[in-house]
Amino acid sequence: MSVFLQSYFFIFLSPESTRWIHSEICISKMYLTMDESLETCREKHIIDSFNEVRQIVDFDWNWIALCLNKALPFSLVEACIDEPWDWTALSCHPSLTWTFVSKHMNKPWNWCILSSHQIVTCEVVIENLNLDWSWSELSFNRNMTWEFVYSFWFKPWDWDALSSHIKIDVETIASAYFFPWSWDNLCYNSDFIIDVVKIRKELNIFEASDFL
């Protein structure tokens, strides 16, 4: 049965712009689609309050869209923890903290996404080795250090990704040249300032013509 309500709906305009729209609509227990939201936004007043979700928690909110809102406060997620949040979307939220994740380990987090999140450090991984980390995605995480990678060299790292950003010096790379580095990616690694062509030549593991 439809009801006529005045309510607030989230819209996702772009990665840089997320806002709420204030609208009077006819609700028939259906989510407002993002396309409809975008069209409505052109005509309605925009506000920035999240109080309406807390006050009308049993309303048919677009929970996926809520999770995509960069301004979403995790105090609201905490207060409405049993609502149908999209935990994959929350896994990449910029305001997420490891404290929140560790407090709610029973939730269906996307560990592949979490593995590359800035909240995950080497210390976090070491203290939680039993978790379902994606070592491939950890390879893209700029918090990973060479010391950590070396300690877990037997894990399925993505060496192309590691080569493009990991902080490493020439002495280290010379002693660890047998790892499957991407020498091309090392050339673009701003934290590895060295003549990669020269060192490869000295180690006799390539021909200089490979770069020509």
Q: Which residues contact 197 (CB under 8 A, 6 or more apart)?
A: 187, 208, 211
Rounded percentage of the chain residues whose pLDDT exceeds 70: 63
Mean pLDDT of the chain: 74
Distance CA(208)–CA(71), nearest Å, equals 51
Query: Model confidence over 15-39: pLDDT tens digits?
Result: 333 333 322 222 222 233 444 443 3
What backbone torsions phi and psi does residue 32 show, to the nearest 5 degrees? -80, 125
Distance CA(45)–CA(114), nearest Å, equals 35
pLDDT at 114: 98
| Residue pointed to by tokens 């300690």 | 151
Contact yes or no for 77/85 (Cβ under 8 A): yes
Among 14-28, 55-69, 186-200, the range scoring the smallest mean pLDDT is 14-28
Highest mean pLDDT among 48-52, 79-83, 128-132: 128-132
C-alpha closest to that of 157 among 186, 136, 174, 129: 136
